[in-house]
């Protein structure tokens, strides 16, 4: 559907020439009877269609200001009804274990990301829609806004199915899109015929280190070393090693449609019954990716798909299977791996902070770690363990302490009250208490790890944004961790930031997640957007090579192996962030860039070659950007 079809009365145009584009519409012009005071209502129900899957901001002007959320539509170009809980506009997110669980909220025709302005929903007089750096000129048309006490549910109002028989978006066209099984099988055969010679391409050792650059005879396990002012991993045989990884490596992906019963009219051809499963809530999940895998490989599909996964890693220069990957692939002993202790005592009620004052804390912590460590204690392919992922309390220490004080009676509340009694109650002391809890927690985890597994590295906590981690916190980490890890969704890790982290922690660094995506396949554009698939490749090279040019960065992991589900994973995300799409076809622009970077990373990190200098065109992050009103 072209944007010319958006010719109704209440259309907002998003101008691709502008950094931020949008407009407001008076609610009385859409629904003259809608109240201005939303007290007592729980949902605002918006009926709309938007011409793109690119995220947009949807907000309301109130008597105190302007409140908004970010919306990602699963159904570009199609009419739909989205019921948004009003609490998302009026209150901070509830406490959760990590950042994604805190801010991502799944629905059925789209998903919602929190983090915008909030306030009382009184004196509401207009609705606003805005978009940052629109990829092409786009439109949103709104034909109704209503309020509800109960959840009326979302509804797909489009004329054709939103998902085709292969699990692709049925609402968007793109060059090379799979339209038949015959066409898809040609693509599969072409990939299977491609030769691979990893030794000639990258010069990797058995464990993925650099054969031409041996540090020593090895210890049988991974470790770190500083050589001529530059940090490296050293592989079990003693070769210098940089971790070039991808997260969520599986033999299929991106093809689950959860809660089929809630998505009337959205699916055309359902997979055969054997590919329909039950989710945790008892609703049906349609597994298109599993169907595609069986259509590709037939009998022994999982074994054949595993071989293909390793062939792809060999070809693309990937030497590390990153976090949240298939345990069967990890256990095959063909690539370096990382593991996570998550949650290992971390408490969702404490925004992911470890409850060191909890009942049986030490005993429960040890039991939790043992479940992860037992299969890997003597595994030479394991680089090390992460302690957790994106704790949401960082930068929210005041709120966390207030939540503890307002909450149930428990050990950590007693400890906080004693801390306040001794040190006083102010911003600095509340932060100091949280930091003390964190220190106690990571020291306990590290001690238990060393007792249960003295061989492997402690890879840190994968902070959501190391910019929010101050000198005090970095100093605490530096005394416990072997590697300082963080997720870094950016154009590339900023060298001044890396300098600070290295100086204040004294540790080599590892990026746990980064990615780039676009909207041309009808999915969300990821946390960092680029204009096209070709620009995804440019962005990958720029990020990885400029990151590894820093002497302290020794690992990156791209998120993820496959695209996310087109109608949203468990928390709603439906990003075009994969190396491979739902039809099990790699993105050539992305994978070619991975190969080109892998060939030069040793020289770049050693300071012998310059990193890739071309920046992607008009790449933008997921921050709120400049204000419009």
Give the single-character DSSP code of 591: H
Q: Tell me the β-bridge partners of 354.
A: 346
* Phi and psi at residue 482, to the nearest 5°: -95, -30
Q: Going by DSSP bridges, is the β-strand pair 80-85/230-234 parallel, antiparallel, or unpaired? A: unpaired
Contact 82, 110 (CB under 8 A): yes
Check the CA dihedral 386-387-392-393 and report its sign.
negative
What pLDDT, on a 0 to 100 scale, did the predictor assign at position 3?
60
Q: What ranges make up the beta strands (E) of 349-483?
A: 382-386, 457-458
Report how far residue 539's alpha carbon sits from residue 519's, in angstroms, rounded to the nearest whole number. Answer: 15
- CATH for the stretch 3-156: 2.60.120.430
Report, at the CATH architecture level, how domain 198-605 is classified: Alpha-Beta Barrel (3.20)
Report how far residue 183's alpha carbon sits from residue 585's, in angstroms, rounded to the nearest whole number. Answer: 12
Cα-trace Rg, the chain: 25
What pLDDT, on a 0 to 100 scale, did the predictor assign at position 7?
76
**Count of residues for the chain?**
629
Report how far residue 140's alpha carbon sits from residue 122's, in angstroms, rounded to the nearest whole number. Answer: 25
Report how far residue 93's alpha carbon sits from residue 211's, in angstroms, rounded to the nearest whole number. Answer: 49
Report how far residue 168's alpha carbon sits from residue 53's, in angstroms, rounded to the nearest whole number. Answer: 13
Report how far residue 13's alpha carbon sits from residue 20's, in angstroms, rounded to the nearest whole number. Answer: 11
Check the CA dihedral 538-460-226-449 and report its sign.
negative
Report how far residue 348's alpha carbon sits from residue 254's, in angstroms, rounded to the nearest whole number. Answer: 27
Contact 377, 429 (CB under 8 A): no
Per-residue burial over 512-535, b if 16 or more Cβ lie within 10 Å, else e, is bbbbbbbbbbbbbbbbbbbbbbbb
What pLDDT, on a 0 to 100 scale, did the predictor assign at position 38?
99
Tokens of 126: 């207009």
Name the segment(s) of the chain with CATH classification 3.20.20.80.
198-605
**pLDDT tens, residue by residue, 425-452:** 999 999 999 999 999 999 999 999 999 9
Report how far residue 321's alpha carbon sits from residue 337's, in angstroms, rounded to the nearest whole number. Answer: 5
DSSP one-letter string for 71-130: EEESSTTS-EEEEEETHHHHSPPPP-SSHHHHHEEE-SSEEEE--S------S--EEEEE
Three-state secondary structure readout of 155-185: EECCCCCCECCCCCECCCCCCCCCCCHHHHH
Report how far residue 597's alpha carbon sits from residue 46's, in angstroms, rounded to the nearest whole number. Answer: 45
- Cα torsion for 89, 90, 96, 99, to the nearest 10°? 40
CA distances from 193 to 241, 309, 315, 569, 587 (A): 30, 14, 12, 32, 17
What pLDDT, on a 0 to 100 scale, did the predictor assign at position 2?
53
Low-confidence ranges of the chain (pLDDT < 70): 1-4, 343
Terminal Cα distance for the chain, rounded: 30
Report how far residue 345's alpha carbon sits from residue 355's, in angstroms, rounded to the nearest whole number. Answer: 7
What pLDDT, on a 0 to 100 scale, did the predictor assign at position 308?
98
Report how far residue 287's alpha carbon sits from residue 394's, in angstroms, rounded to the nearest whole number. Answer: 37
Report how far residue 100's alpha carbon sits from residue 571's, in angstroms, rounded to the nearest whole number. Answer: 8
Contact 247, 557 (CB under 8 A): yes
Report how far residue 8's alpha carbon sits from residue 21's, in angstroms, rounded to the nearest whole number. Answer: 19
Contact 579, 594 (CB under 8 A): yes
Entry pTM: 0.96
Q: In what order do the strands lie in the sheet with 276-278?
A: 256-257, 284-287, 276-278
Cβ neighbours for 346, distance < 8 A, ≥ 6 positions apart = 97, 352, 353, 354, 355, 388, 391, 441
What pLDDT, on a 0 to 100 scale, did the predictor assign at position 200?
75
Name the segment(s) of the chain with CATH classification 2.60.120.430.
3-156
What pLDDT, on a 0 to 100 scale, did the predictor assign at position 385?
98
Q: 348, exposed or middle or buried, with CB in 10 Å at 0-12, 13-18, 19+?
A: middle
Q: Tell me the β-bridge partners of 147.
A: 44
What pLDDT, on a 0 to 100 scale, did the predictor assign at position 343?
65
- Count other Cβ atoms within 10 Å, centred on residue 399: 14
**pLDDT tens, residue by residue, 6-63:** 878 899 999 999 999 999 999 999 999 999 999 999 999 999 999 999 999 999 999 9
Tokens of 33: 């009877």
- Count other Cβ atoms within 10 Å, centred on residue 626: 10
- Count other Cβ atoms within 10 Å, centred on residue 465: 16
CA distances from 82 to 111, 129, 181, 599 (A): 9, 14, 34, 47
């Amino acid at each position: 559907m072209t944007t010319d079809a958006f010719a109704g009365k209440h259309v907002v145009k998003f101008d691709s020439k502008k950094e931020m584009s949008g407009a407001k519409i008076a609610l009385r012009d859409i629904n003259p009877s809608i109240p201005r005071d939303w007290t007592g209502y729980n949902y605002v129900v918006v009926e709309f269609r938007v011409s793109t899957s690119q995220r947009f901001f949807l907000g309301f002007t109130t008597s105190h200001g302007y409140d908004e959320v970010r919306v990602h539509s699963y159904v570009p170009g199609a009419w739909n009804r989205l019921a948004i809980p009003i609490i998302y506009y009026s209150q901070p997110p509830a406490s959760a274990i990590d950042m994604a669980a805190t801010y991502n909220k799944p629905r059925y025709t789209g998903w919602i990301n929190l983090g915008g302005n909030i306030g009382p929903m009184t004196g509401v007089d207009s609705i606003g829609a805005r978009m940052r750096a629109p990829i092409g000129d786009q439109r949103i048309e709104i034909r109704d806004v209503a309020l509800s006490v109960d959840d009326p549910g979302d509804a797909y109002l489009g004329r054709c199915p939103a998902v085709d028989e292969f699990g692709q978006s049925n609402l968007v066209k793109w060059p090379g899109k799979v339209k038949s099984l015959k066409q898809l099988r040609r693509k599969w055969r072409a990939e299977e015929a491609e030769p691979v010679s990893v030794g000639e391409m990258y010069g990797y050792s058995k464990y993925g280190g650099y054969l031409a650059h041996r540090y020593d005879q090895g210890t049988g396990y991974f470790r770190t070393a500083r050589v001529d002012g530059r940090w490296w991993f050293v592989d079990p045989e003693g070769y210098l090693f940089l971790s070039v990884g991808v997260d969520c490596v599986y033999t299929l992906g991106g093809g689950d449609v959860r809660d089929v019963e809630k998505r009337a009219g959205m699916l055309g051809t359902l997979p055969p019954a054997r590919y329909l499963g039950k989710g945790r809530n008892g609703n049906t999940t349609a597994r298109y990716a599993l169907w595609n895998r069986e259509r590709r490989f037939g009998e022994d599909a999982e074994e054949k798909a595993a071989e293909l996964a390793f062939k792809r890693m060999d070809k693309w220069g990937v030497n590390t299977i990153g976090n949240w990957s298939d345990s069967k692939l990890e256990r095959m002993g063909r690539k370096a791996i990382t593991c996570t202790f998550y949650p290992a005592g971390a408490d969702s009620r404490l925004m992911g902070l470890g409850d060191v004052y909890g009942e049986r804390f030490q005993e429960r912590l040890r039991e939790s770690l043992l479940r992860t460590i037992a299969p890997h204690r003597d595994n030479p392919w394991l680089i090390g363990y992460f302690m957790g992922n994106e704790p949401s309390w960082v930068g929210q220490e005041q709120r966390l302490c207030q939540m503890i004080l307002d909450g149930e009676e428990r050990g950590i509340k007693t400890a906080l009250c004693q801390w306040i009694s001794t040190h006083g109650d102010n911003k600095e002391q509340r932060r100091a208490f949280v930091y003390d809890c964190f220190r106690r927690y990571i020291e306990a985890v590290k001690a238990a790890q060393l007792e249960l597994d003295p061989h492997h590295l402690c890879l840190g906590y994968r902070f959501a944004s190391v910019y929010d981690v101050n000198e005090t916190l970095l100093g605490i980490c530096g005394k416990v961790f072997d590697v300082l890890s963080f997720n870094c969704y950016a154009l590339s890790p900023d060298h001044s930031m890396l300098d600070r982290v290295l100086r204040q922690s004294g540790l080599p660094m590892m990026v746990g997640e980064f990615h780039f995506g676009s909207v041309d396949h009808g999915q969300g554009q990821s946390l960092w957007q680029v204009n096209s698939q070709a620009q995804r490749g440019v962005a990958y090279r720029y990020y990885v090579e400029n990151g590894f040019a820093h002497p302290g960065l020794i690992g990156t992991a791209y998120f993820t192996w496959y695209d996310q589900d087109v109608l949203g994973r468990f928390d709603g995300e439906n990003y075009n962030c994969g190396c491979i799409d739902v039809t099990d076809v790699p993105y050539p622009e992305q994978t070619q860039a991975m190969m080109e970077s892998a060939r030069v990373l040793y020289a770049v990190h050693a300071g012998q070659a310059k990193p890739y200098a071309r920046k992607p065109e008009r790449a933008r992050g997921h921050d709120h950007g400049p204000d419009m009103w």
